[in-house]
Amino acid sequence: MPKRVPLTYAASGVDVGIRAQALAALLGGVRYRPPPDHGRPVDLAGHFAGLVRLGRETVALTTDTVGTKVLLAEELRRWEEVGEDIVGVNVNDLAAVGARPAALVDTILCARPDDGVFAGIGRGLDRGLRRAGCALVGGETAVVPDLVSGFDLGGTALGFFPRGRRPVTGERIRPGDVILGIPSTGFHANGYTLVRRLLREESVDLDQPRPGGRGPVGLELLRPTRIYSDAADAIADRPEVHGLVHLSGGGVRNFVRLQSDVEFRLDAWPEPPGLFGWVQALGPLSDHEMFGTFNMGIGFAVVVSARGAGEVLRRLARAGARDAQRIGRVAPGRGVSLPGRSLAYAGYA
């Protein structure tokens, strides 16, 4: 195998810098703010969910797609996992503001509807909705053969704040806070354009296990996004919880979405599961690229006062996250760092 320059997410066709610039061009045109009798948006630019005050309630709205992970599903002819991902990618963004999921609408774009595919997606949706405690209240199925090849799966989730709960925004994060992490179940639904390119270039057989892995590596890569709704719901009322992070696309850089004038120092990051190291070696990809693109084994994080950390860990365990652990702390400074690997990130995008 010839020696190669390390790959990047940008080189695989997804340049987050270009995307950020285009998004700025779009948002530059959107100046309208509605009158207060049309609801009051809560300004949380760049956060995981949009918040709106409606009458006597505050609701949270978030939208996301499963992205190119569906192409892996297509290759393996398995649709339950990505059906479940429609729920996971959305409710985890609600969890990151402390909102409890209430309703989901799905959007399926396809070149041609297929009963078997749709039935599999339905079973996966059901499993995800059950895990999140969320109802499906509608959806859109668009047959657009001129626009998409195969399938695109996305959705929008609506959450709310039970009586007495306030949105968790990160504004109360301060140096000295402790950072707890909850493990992921793999790549969730982020970075698959890059992962798939590596699989293709190295002619990986998806039906075989990777070295050290159990079961076909295709199935390992297809595992659905872990759903953190119950975990977040169990702690979002506690005043010692200062911030919640969903480590989606952008990996550890997601911490910066909570607050930009502290340093998130991830000094106790656990060794990432073997799947991540195996993908990294396929590239090879740099540590900087890996931690700035993928969740690297931790899919959700909680920023909590040092005094409150023990109680929050106990509550997380009772809500099904016995594997939550301390992964770092908040320090004076800016950005995100992993001192053990000499990594630092200044911003999110």
Under rule CB under 8 A, which residues in 153-172 are in contact with a copy of itself?
154-156, 158, 160, 162-163
Binding mask 129-148 for a copy of itself (x = CB under 8 A): xx--xxxxxxxxxxxxxxxx
Q: Which of 21, 287, 314, 322 binds a copy of itself (CB under 8 A)?
A: 21
How many binding residues for a copy of itself (CB under 8 A)?
95
Residues 49-88 that bind a copy of itself (CB under 8 A): 49-52, 54-57, 59, 61-65, 67-68, 70-71
Q: What is the DSSP letter of 314?
A: H
- For residues 161 and 308, is the Cβ–Cβ distance under 8 A? no
CB 299 within 8 A of CB 182: yes
The answer to whether 128 touches 64, Cβ cutoff 8 Å, is no
CA 146 to chain centre: 29
Are the C-beta atoms of residues 188 and 6 closer than 8 Å to each other?
A: no
Which residue of 77, 115, 212, 239 would you call a contact of a copy of itself, by CB under 8 A? 115
Rounded Cα distance between 267 and 337, Å, is 8
89: left (phi over 0), alpha (psi -120 to 50) or beta: alpha
Which two structure tokens, joined as six digits, stand for 56?
């006597």
Is the Cβ–Cβ distance between 341 and 328 less than 8 Å? no
CB of 319 to a copy of itself, least distance (A): 15
Report the site for a copy of itself in 185-214 (rule: CB under 8 A).
193, 196
How deeply is 237 buried, as exposed, middle or buried, from its count of CB atoms within 10 A (0-12, 13-18, 19+)? middle
- Using the minimum distance from each CB to a copy of itself, give the nearer residue, 145 or 310: 145
Give the residue with the Cβ less far from a copy of itself, 75 or 207. 75
Q: Is 46 exposed, middle or buried (0-12, 13-18, 19+ CB in 10 A)?
A: exposed
Residue 34 binds a copy of itself (CB under 8 A): yes
Task: Provide the minimum distance between the beta carbon of 164 and a copy of itself in the complex, in angstroms, as a whole number.
Answer: 11
Q: Are 304 and 312 in contact (CB under 8 A)?
A: yes
Question: Closest distance between a copy of itself and the C-beta of residue 202, in Å?
Answer: 17
Nearer to a copy of itself, 124 or 183 (CB): 124
List 73, 95, 125, 241, residue binding a copy of itself (CB under 8 A): 125
Q: Whose Cβ is closer to a copy of itself: residue 194's or residue 338's?
A: 194
Let me know: does 287 contact 251? Beta carbons within 8 Å.
no
| Near a copy of itself by CB under 8 A: residue from 4, 5, 37, 203 | 37
**Pick from 104, 102, 72: which is nearest to 189 by CA?**
72
Does 8 engage in binding with a copy of itself (CB under 8 A)? no
Nearer to a copy of itself, 41 or 310 (CB): 41
Binders in 88-107 for a copy of itself, by CB under 8 A: 100-103, 105-107
Looking at the Cβ atoms of 193 and 325, the one nearer to a copy of itself is 193
Contact status: 121 vs a copy of itself (CB under 8 A): yes
Is the Cβ–Cβ distance between 60 and 51 less than 8 Å? Answer: yes
**Of these, 3, 8, 11, 35, which contacts a copy of itself (CB under 8 A)?**
35
Nearer to a copy of itself, 113 or 332 (CB): 113
Q: Record the tokens describing residue 99, joined without a space.
A: 């909102």
